[in-house]
Amino acid sequence: DTGVSQDPRHKITKRGQNVTFRCDPISEHNRLYWYRQTLGQGPEFLTYFQNEAQLEKSRLLSDRFSAERPKGSFSTLEIQRTEQGDSAMYLCASSLDRDGTQYFGPGTRLLVL
Amino acid sequence: QKEVEQDPGPLSVPEGAIVSLNCTYSNSAFQYFMWYRQYSRKGPELLMYTYSSGNKEDGRFTAQVDKSSKYISLFIRDSQPSDSATYLCAMSRSGNTGKLIFGQGTTLQVKP
């Protein structure tokens, strides 16, 4: 399968714990995006990378959230001191520079108890 | 007020019906318009991608953009039960940079 992959697919954690999600984009896609989707809503933009550079961050991305793409390939999204309000589906997407079409992964569903 | 408004439905139609899904938006800077389909507990799948105003057809799907009215539509002809999903409109200011702004999504059920 050459699509966007995300790991884990599901994560249950207790409030206050740290969690980390991984996204592997489509090979050769230099742009990588993170979105968050809550039940009954459309995805909301969190941040995006062009290669290893983080070019834009949403106001939704509080200080507890950090994203990295150290070698311009896979990316990680870490949430520190999780809160119940962080429960959501975290979606990753990738695209090429010359073509803005964003392809989404299956998402990581987070539940904070 | 949200930048992109979409009626959440749910919308229920019989198999074979023509389905019309719509979004309105407020920001005239949007230039690129997309429709994604999302099955339950899955990631969004791109259906249609259009630039500026006009129509685009792909099989049973037709996307329309009316920038003067800030209104976009997706038509599904000969709807099938397998079309049952949530349909998300999305748009961006630029075709090759940055974030997509999504509507809330419309849930469609096609009954056999």
Residue B62 has pLDDT above 80, yes or no: yes
Task: Identify the band that residue B60 occupies on the pLDDT scale cut at 50, 70 and 90.
Answer: very high
Which of A85, A83, A84, A90 shows the shortest CA–CA distance to A22? A90
B32 touches chain A (CB under 8 A): yes
- Chain A residues with CB inside 8 Å of B101's CB? 45
B103 touches chain A (CB under 8 A): yes
Q: How far is residue A74 from each of residues A51, A65, B3, B22, B96, measured CA to CA in Å? A: 10, 17, 31, 35, 20
Task: Identify the band that residue B96 occupies on the pLDDT scale cut at 50, 70 and 90.
Answer: low
Q: Which pLDDT belongs to residue A1?
A: 54
A48, A101, A107 ranked by CB distance to B43: nearest: A107
Degrees to nearest 5, angle at CA A11 with A16 and A20: 65
According to DSSP, the residues that pair with A90 across neighbouring strands are A36, A108
Tokens of B103: 């509507």
What mean pLDDT is predicted for residues B58-71? 95
Degrees to nearest 5, angle at CA B15 with B88 and B44: 20
What is the C-alpha to C-alpha distance for residues A38 and A51, in angstroms, rounded to an integer? 27
B50 touches chain A (CB under 8 A): no
Identify the closest residue of chain A to B93 by CA–CA distance: A100
DSSP state of A25: P
Residue B104 has pLDDT above 60, yes or no: yes
